Amino acid sequence: DGGITQSPKYLFRKEGQNVTLSCEQNLNHDAMYWYRQDPGQGLRLIYYSQIVNDFQKGDIAEGYSVSREKKESFPLTVTSAQKNPTAFYLCASSHQQGRRGNTIYFGEGSWLTVV
């Protein structure tokens, strides 16, 4: 089935650790995104990428890093510099930007908890 696959679904991080969340899509989408969701809040953009080997910071990029070595993959690393990482992380993708009404599709999400 075509879609966006995130893994793991649940992840626990110890203080001072870096962790990486995986995101893979087989929709042949050019653009990929990472959002963070906190309880009772809307989604906030962490990073986005329009093409391979290029990515841009979103509203809350501090303490996070990404890479885009392949079109279908956009992993997110939550570094130890992120002081409050416990949240639900959503990966998304869309066709090339610049089209009106461009729809962004989301994965199932990954829960990250600091222990």
Partner 1 sequence: GNSVTQMEGPVTLSEEAFLTINCTYTATGYPSLFWYVQYPGEGLQLLLKATKADDKGSNKGFEATYRKETTSFHLEKGSVQVSDSAVYFCALMSGAGSYQLTFGKGTKLSVIP
Q: What is the binding site for partner 1 (CB under 8 A)?
A: 4, 6, 31, 33, 40-43, 45, 48, 50, 56, 58, 90, 92, 97-109
Quote the least distance from Cβ 15 to partner 1, whole Å.
Answer: 26
Quote the least distance from Cβ 26 to partner 1, whole Å.
Answer: 16
Quote the least distance from Cβ 102 to partner 1, whole Å.
Answer: 7
Q: Kindly tell me which of 75 and 109 has the beta carbon lying closer to partner 1.
A: 109
Quote the least distance from Cβ 56 to partner 1, whole Å.
Answer: 8
C-alpha separations of 87 from 13, 57, 83, 97, 108 in Å: 12, 18, 12, 27, 14
How many beta carbons lie within 10 A of that of residue 20, not counting itself?
13
Contact indicator for 43, 36 with CB cutoff of 8 Å: yes
C-alpha separations of 14 from 18, 62, 75, 88, 94 in Å: 9, 19, 19, 17, 33
Q: Kindly tell me which of 72 and 80 has the beta carbon lying closer to partner 1.
A: 72
